[in-house]
Amino acid sequence: MDIHAEPEWESLYDELACRRGTALFLGMTDTGKSTLVRYLLKRFVTEGIKVSLVDSDIGQSSLGLPGTVSMRVFRDKKDLEEFRWKKMSFLGTVNPAKAMTGVIRAAEMMTCLCREKADMVLVDTTGLVTGAIGRALKTGKIRALNPEYAIAVQKKDELEHILSRLDDHRIVRLRNSPEAKARSRAVRFRYRNRKLAEYFAGRPSSVFSLHMNEVRFLYHDKPFSPGEAYIKEKMIIGLNHNEVTLALGIVEKSQLGRITFMSRLASLKKINTVVLGDMFLQKIPEG
């Protein structure tokens, strides 16, 4: 991936490389925020600084899968070339407003893991920044993660209602990249479904069956009794050990208190939680 760096990105790198710590990136959709993160990852790796990424952009995740918060530590160029998560937490939705508490908690968990293993932690976030929900999501994440830096990528002043509430954090304001391109809803839809299709096609899947009394079920980050939710065919589920998702699955059927699904897991030995939501593997439209 070729990245055209903006002039101010280099000075940002110099400051982060000097002070280290955790930097959380804020910005609306299509401002070049994720591209900036990729640039910084490459610079840190090139200079021999162990860096990690927490990707909490559940709608347009670049490191992980749609609907997940994921992490990885980058030690060398091979890690950059592979650019794939090492741990993930599936939330069951690509809409952060439906699982706000879960997004914040998963980002906090992944950030804690990264802080143990890397000198610099970069946290990418969703483009939901407007209104009361956007403000609550971002300020909640900042309180939970307590980053040394809040990197705000703005077109105008759309992040100021969030930044004005920060007290002790180091705020760096950047203008959005003029090379950032807007993507339509159809393009975003195809991107998400292509990533999911590639994941499930990656290696052979096995068919498993679980009785709903055997594990805990979560729906939009809330526990529920199996009878309260209608589990549909082709629904994507997260197969978890506690809050870490070991694999995703696709529902084949649900009847008589038992759910049957396909997954790339070798066994269900460690699975104690199943995460449901509103995500389905759908046919990718052409064009």
Q: Which tens digit of pLDDT belongs to each residue from 174-215? A: 988 776 777 888 898 899 999 999 998 877 789 999 988 899
Are 121 and 111 in contact by the 8 Å Cβ rule? The answer is yes
- How many Å apart are CA 171 and CA 152, to the nearest integer? 7
What pTM value is reported for the model? Answer: 0.93
- How many Å apart are CA 78 and CA 204, to the nearest integer? 25
Q: Where are the domains of the chain?
A: 7-175, 203-276
- Classify strands 258-263 and 206-211 as parallel, antiparallel or unpaired: antiparallel
Question: For 242, phi and psi rounded to 5 degrees?
Answer: 60, -120
Fold topology of 203-276: Elongation Factor Tu (Ef-tu); domain 3 (2.40.30)
pLDDT of residue 223: 85
Take residue 188 and report the two structure tokens written for it.
């975003």
- pLDDT at residue 226 is higher than 70: no
Count of CB atoms situated within 10 Å of the CB of 270: 12
**CATH of the structural domain 7-175, one choice from 1.25.60.10, 3.40.50.300, 1.20.140.10, 3.40.190.10:** 3.40.50.300
Q: Between 156 and 71, name the one with better pLDDT.
A: 71
Are 141 and 104 in contact by the 8 Å Cβ rule? The answer is yes
- pLDDT at residue 105 is higher than 80: yes
Helix, strand, coil tally for the chain in percent (to 5): 30, 30, 40
Q: How much is the mean pLDDT over the chain?
A: 90
